[in-house]
């Protein structure tokens, strides 16, 4: 133990975040009080939703405060515990800072069981992205055997789980992603029925070909023109879980587009936004089911791990370039 | 009985329908076969959804065929019955032609009980518009006591019923309509809590004032900029029954607008299109409940009646000028 490196949020981005958004500072390692725990960060999760928190406007969750340490999902290891429920060496997960060491209230931490899945999975398939896929797809999308499920952002941490759950439910799964490598992975490793490369293909034509029976469920991670194309192929009573609009997050002005209302109207279709915390009361159910599917090999996942706390901003920005495959993590220290 | 005047659909409109869309012709009065009934038209209903059927593209229901008699909701009186279930003089309702006399299969007719409500109500409060309001508001909108319900097209056949049902459920009701007379009616006769004149007021500002606690349910009859304004005020878990998009029906190209997805996403809000036929299996429930509310005086309604079959096209076009208050009907003959 030496110092605590911390990544501060120092300027709200206008458009895409850049080096002026973040500042790496160093301070003393904090000491936990009664009922608190000192956690050493092992893995940090960077996720697209964090972009919304960087703007000073209403979003999923409260905006990040300026001149404070950024925060997100962390898997860490307990260094010092001032609470009976935890002891040094325990692996835990919680919403903690972008820093080497965090002091957290014991109430805000959950233990990680490394026998069920590797600890990093608690930030991915068994964590926020997995639960997002699970509840959005099953509660809102409700895919039935034989139906066609389209997922955009298909190679991302949420999209890969969505497609695999849809396959488990017997649906035909069409994934939209941004590279040949991603699409090979989706088709060959995850069993997607069809894949579309939105960077090289005419999405509208490719969708028409990939969805000869129309679209029953569209799990929307991206918004924008890709979603406009899917909207033209909705079937009667289609369902659209609205999970993210990554194509919009860095725009300076709200984008205009063809109104989707007409398509929803003529198809009696449903579109519903959600955030994983809407399902907080059911998270144990989701984690349990996802853990079973992972241990049965029905859900597999891939991680893209960047080494070093100082590279967290870069890893975060990489989410918006369409390059990453699977869950983006930052490795900050080793499990001891 | 003499001849049968019929209004044919002779040209698909590009934009707003006009005199070239319709042709009034005369033929012999048809004769019913076995299991059929000859019905004399008493009231014809003209409704905004019919505009969608005039285009040769996917809509709620199949497009109207060219060079055939237009059709819609009718209350009529049986002239000749070749089916045991009906006899001459019975009042019936069904989907029949824009003509003086129609031959219908007995299976496609329902009896009208003039003791429950005036026969014309079976085309309005107890008919398609009433059931549209009932199922859209209660099944999709699910207003709770104390919540704020906004309805656009508030003075129309559907909107007036929506607002009254929302009041029955204890909600605060805000109506958006296009004239001072309509708004006076909504507020003074129907008990709406607040009204907005979209032709003379800044809708955004007026909505902010009328909805200090945000919007929980938005019953959308109109689409376009009015709905864009409502979308900025949605509360967490808001619901939007998407009933019509009358502002779009006569556009030659799909209109562009700010994408609503972001607003749905950050509020975990739901938007769902529907058509009354989605609820066909529950129509008896709806008619019964609406009939009770009408007989209890909890739902009142107004009709705007044009006289004469030949004026049906004009009555139909009037739906799009924002002038009509309540259910638009055409009186074709007297009950005998």
The answer to whether B272 contacts A271, with C-beta atoms less than 8 Å apart, is yes
pLDDT at residue A333 in the model: 97
Q: What pLDDT does A2 receive? A: 78
Task: Give pLDDT, residue B19.
Answer: 87
**B266:A60 CB<8 A:** yes
Gap between the terminal Cα atoms of chain B: 13
Confidence grade of residue A218 (pLDDT, cut at 50, 70, 90): very high
**Which chain A residues have a beta carbon less than 8 Å from that of B224?**
259
CA gap B210, B192 in Å, rounded? 11
Which residues of B fall below an 8 Å CB-CB distance to A?
Answer: 52, 58-60, 220, 223-224, 227, 242-245, 248, 254-262, 264-275, 278
Among the partner residues A245, A261, A265, nearest to B265 by beta-carbon distance: A245
Domain with CATH 3.40.50.720 in chain B: 128-277
Residue in A with minimal Cα distance to B49:
A266
pLDDT tens-digit profile of B20-37? 999 999 999 999 999 999
Kindly report the nearest CA distance between residue B262 and chain A, in angstroms.
Answer: 7
Q: Which of A265, A271, A273 sits opposite B267 (nearest CB)?
A: A273
pLDDT of the residue at B265: 92
> For testing the chain B interface, which of A262, A277, A279 should be mutated: the one with the most B CBs within 10 Å?
A262
Residue A25: per-residue pLDDT:
97
Question: Quick check: A256 and B261 CB within 8 A?
Answer: no
Which chain A residue has the Cα nearest residue B234?
A58
**Interchain CB distance below 8 Å, B262 and A248:** yes
Residues of B in contact with A52 (CB under 8 A): 266
Class of the CATH-defined domain B4-123+302-331? alpha beta
Contact criterion met (CB below 8 Å) for A208 and A227: no
Per the CB < 8 Å rule, is B265 touching A256?
no
- List CB contacts (< 8 A) between A261 and chain B: 220, 223, 227, 242, 245, 248, 260, 271, 273
Residue contact A265–B271, C-beta within 8 A: no
Of B59, B60, B258, the CB nearest to A254: B258
Smallest CA–CA distance, residue B133 to chain A, in Å, is: 15
Give the whole-angstrom CA distance, residue B78 versus residue B88. Answer: 5
The DSSP output letter for B72 is E
Q: How far is CA A112 from the centre of its chain?
A: 19
Report the sign of the C-alpha dihedral through residues B51, B57, B58, B64, in that order: positive
Chain A partners within 8 Å of B261 (Cβ) = 220, 223, 227, 242, 245, 248, 260, 271, 273
Q: Which of B190, B210, B214 is nearest to B198 (CA)?
A: B210
Residues of A with CB under 8 A from a CB of B: 52, 58-60, 220, 223-224, 227, 242-245, 248, 254-262, 264-275, 278
Task: Choose among B60, B227, B268: nearest Cβ to A273.
Answer: B268
Which among A220, A224, A265 has the least Cβ separation from residue B242? A265
Task: Share the mean pLDDT of chain A.
Answer: 93
Tell if the CB–CB gap between A265 and B273 is shorter than 8 Å: yes
Using the predicted structure, report yes or no on whether residue A208 has a pLDDT greater than 70: yes
Q: Which bin fits A252, alpha (ψ -120 to 50), beta or left (φ > 0)?
A: alpha
B60, B266, B267, B279: best to mutate for the A interface, most A CBs within 10 A: B266
Q: Do A262 and B220 touch (CB under 8 A)?
A: no
In chain A, where does the domain assigned CATH 3.90.180.10 lie?
4-124+302-331
What CA–CA distance (Å, rounded) separates A285 from A297?
A: 19
Q: Which residue stretches of chain B have pLDDT < 50?
A: none
Structure tokens at A37: 């725990």
Write down how long chain B is.
336
CATH code of the domain made up of A4-124+302-331? 3.90.180.10
Q: Which long-range contacts (CB under 8 A, 24 or more apart) does A231-238 make?
A: A231/A258, A231/A260, A231/A263, A232/A204, A232/A263, A233/A207, A233/A208, A234/A263, A234/A264, A234/A267, A234/A269, A235/A148, A235/A267, A236/A267, A236/A268, A236/A269, A237/A267, A237/A268, A237/A269, A237/A270, A238/A214, A238/A267, A238/A269, A238/A270
Of B98, B104, B96, the closest CA to residue B31 belongs to: B104
ipTM for this prediction: 0.86
Higher per-residue confidence, B249 vs A267:
A267
- Rounded CA gap, A42 and A329, in Å? 10
CA quadruple A320, A324, A327, A333: dihedral, nearest 10: -100
Choose among B255, B262, B273: nearest Cβ to A269. Answer: B273
Whether residue B227 and residue A58 make contact (CB cut-off 8 A), yes or no, is: no
Q: Determine, for residues A259 and B261 on separate chains, whether the beta-carbon distance falls below 8 Å.
A: no
Asked if B259 lies within 8 A of A257 by C-beta distance, the reply is: yes
CA-closest candidate to residue B269, choices B297, B233, B319: B233
Distance (Å) from the alpha carbon of B200 to chain A's nearest alpha carbon? 25
What pLDDT, on a 0 to 100 scale, did the predictor assign at position A251?
A: 61
State the count of interchain CB pairs (< 8 A) between A and B.
111
CATH class of A128-277: alpha beta
Per-residue model confidence as pLDDT tens digits over A116-146:
889 999 999 999 999 999 999 999 999 999 9
Q: Which residues of B touch A260 (CB under 8 A)?
A: 259-261
Query: Cβ of A271 and B271 within 8 Å?
Result: yes
List, for residues A173-191, the tens digit of each pLDDT value.
999 999 999 999 999 999 9
């Amino acid at each position: 133990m030496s110092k605590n490196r911390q990544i501060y949020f120092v300027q709200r981005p206008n458009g895409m975040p850049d080096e002026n958004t973040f500042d790496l500072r160093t301070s003393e390692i904090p000491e936990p009080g009664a009922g608190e725990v000192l956690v050493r960060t092992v893995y940090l999760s960077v996720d697209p939703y964090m972009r919304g928190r960087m703007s000073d406007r209403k979003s999923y969750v409260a905006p990040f405060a300026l001149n404070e340490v950024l925060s997100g999902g962390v898997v860490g290891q307990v260094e010092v515990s001032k609470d009976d429920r935890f002891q040094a060496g325990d692996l835990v997960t919680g919403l903690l800072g972008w820093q080497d060491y965090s002091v957290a209230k014991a109430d805000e931490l959950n233990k990680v069981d490394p026998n069920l899945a590797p600890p990093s999975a608690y930030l991915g398939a068994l964590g926020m992205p997995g639960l997002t896929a699970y509840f959005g797809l099953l509660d809102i999308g409700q895919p039935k055997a034989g139906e066609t499920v389209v997922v955009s952002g298909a190679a991302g941490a949420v999209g890969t789980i969505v497609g695999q759950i849809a396959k488990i439910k017997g649906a035909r799964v069409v994934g939209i992603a941004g590279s040949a490598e991603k699409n090979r992975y989706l088709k060959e490793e995850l069993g997607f029925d069809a894949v579309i490369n939105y960077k090289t293909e005419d999405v509208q034509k490719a969708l028409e070909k990939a969805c000869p029976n129309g679209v029953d469920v569209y799990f929307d991670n991206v918004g924008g023109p890709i979603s406009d194309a899917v909207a033209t192929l909705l079937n009667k009573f289609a369902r659209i879980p609205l999970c993210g609009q990554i194509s919009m997050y860095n725009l300076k002005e709200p984008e205009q587009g063809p109104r989707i209302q007409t398509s929803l109207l003529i198809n009696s279709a449903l579109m519903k936004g959600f955030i994983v915390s809407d399902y907080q009361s059911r998270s144990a159910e989701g984690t349990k089911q996802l853990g079973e599917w992972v241990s049965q090999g029905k859900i597999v996942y891939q991680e893209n791990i960047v080494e070093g706390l100082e590279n967290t901003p870069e890893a975060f920005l990489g989410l918006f370039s369409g390059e990453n495959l699977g869950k983006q993590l930052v490795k900050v220290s080793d499990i001891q």
